[in-house]
Amino acid sequence: MSESGKRRGESSREAILEAAEIVFAEHGFDGARVDSIAHLSGYDKKLLFRYYGDKLGLYAEVLKRADQEAHALLAGVFAPLLEDESAASQAHQWRHFLKTMVQTLFDYLLDHPRFMRMLTWEMAEGWRIFAQITARFPPEYTDQFEMLFRKARSAGLLRSDFLPVIQFTMLLQICQAYLVSLPLYQTLLPGSDLSSASALAHAREYLADFVVAGIMGGSES
């Protein structure tokens, strides 16, 4: 295939994934229609099936794209602790790692509201669809977090030995719960601007400190 053909192929794939993300975020997996995705992308439905096989394959690729973007950001967060074997045993470095992890996830969800909405659909539907495609997502960072968690636990930096993978996943879900609940909080506090840059920065800092206090307890000093 020529370079121009490759570029056209990449452009069409990206347009389809973008349209699919919009439709899946708006309607969830069950409510999304491939005809709507094709119409929004500007490409024939047959091309969608040729690229991705079926609706589930397309859905998996949308989530995989977001997963890869998030992993690229998290790589920088994990790097200092993976490069220095003693880092996970030092309170100030472990605290910084946890705070940065929460802040990175908060920022990613804030910048990707459609992905966050897809996660919320999954949560509401019992993760039924994600369970069918979970094998397509390598557990790279959950494995690394588990290893680092063991080191931190051995150093007395953690209040609990509760399952590391669940604690890692909850970092994302805590940020998600806050951001998707902003309309509720705004209803409860009509005189506040909770979506302003300063309010979001304050919430981001609070959630990071909340997580550190919960995971490290009295060992964080």
Query: For the chain, what are the domain ranges?
Result: 1-53, 63-219
How far apart are alpha carbons 43 and 8 in whole angstroms? 12
Residues 15/51, Cβ–Cβ less than 8 Å = no
Whether 62 shows a pLDDT value over 70: the answer reads yes
Whether 1 shows a pLDDT value over 60: the answer reads no
- Read off the pLDDT of residues 79-116 as tens digits, 9 standing for 90 and up: 998 898 888 899 999 999 999 999 999 999 999 999 99
- Read off the pLDDT of residues 129-169 as tens digits, 9 standing for 90 and up: 999 999 888 777 778 888 899 999 999 999 999 999 899 89
Residues 152/88, Cβ–Cβ less than 8 Å = yes
CATH code of the domain occupying 63-219: 1.10.357.10
CA proximity to 14, closest of 56, 48, 54, 49:
48
Fold entry, domain 1-53: Arc Repressor Mutant, subunit A (1.10.10)
CB atoms within 10 A of CB 200: 17
* Mean pLDDT estimate for the chain: 92
| Least confident residue range of 17-21, 23-27, 106-110, 165-169 | 165-169
For 58, residues 6+ apart whose C-beta sits below 8 A from its C-beta are 16, 17, 20, 34, 37, 48, 51, 52
Residue 19 has a pLDDT of 98
Whether 212 shows a pLDDT value over 80: the answer reads yes
Residue 192 — very low, low, confident or very high, per pLDDT cuts 50/70/90?
very high
The stretch 15-40 carries a mean pLDDT of 97
Residues 98/215, Cβ–Cβ less than 8 Å = yes
Residues 23/33, Cβ–Cβ less than 8 Å = yes
